[in-house]
């Protein structure tokens, strides 16, 4: 009986979520805010910074910190292995 109630709960919550999803998506459209309609003009410095430089910095920082995190995890595993031996 427990599996059945979990199944019903999951089904009803999924149905409820799918029924309310269009409402939440529609509520995020804000009228009166200008939206870009064409290709990005890279002759303006602000567009170059926003669309090229900032994402590149974020990707490079992610790769650097990911490497450091992997290194720290590996060192921690090595210390635990030495401690167990």
Question: How much is the CA Rg of the chain, to the nearest whole Å?
Answer: 25
CB contact at 8 A, 40 and 51? yes
The tens digit of pLDDT for each residue in 8-21 reads 898 999 988 888 87
Would you give the DSSP letter of residue 14? H
The contacts of residue 52 (CB under 8 Å, 6+ apart) are 42
Q: Residue 47: which H helix or E strand, with range?
A: helix 45-48
Least confident of 2-6, 24-28, 56-60: 24-28
CA distance 61 to 58: 5
């Amino acid at each position: 009986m427990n599996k059945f109630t979990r199944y019903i709960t999951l089904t009803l919550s999924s149905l409820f979520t799918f029924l309310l999803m269009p409402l939440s998506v529609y509520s995020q459209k804000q009228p009166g805010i200008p939206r870009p309609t064409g290709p990005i003009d890279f002759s303006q410095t602000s567009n170059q910074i926003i669309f090229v430089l900032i994402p590149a910095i974020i990707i490079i920082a992610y790769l650097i910190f990911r490497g450091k995190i992997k290194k720290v995890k590996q060192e921690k595993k090595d210390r635990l292995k030495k401690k167990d031996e």
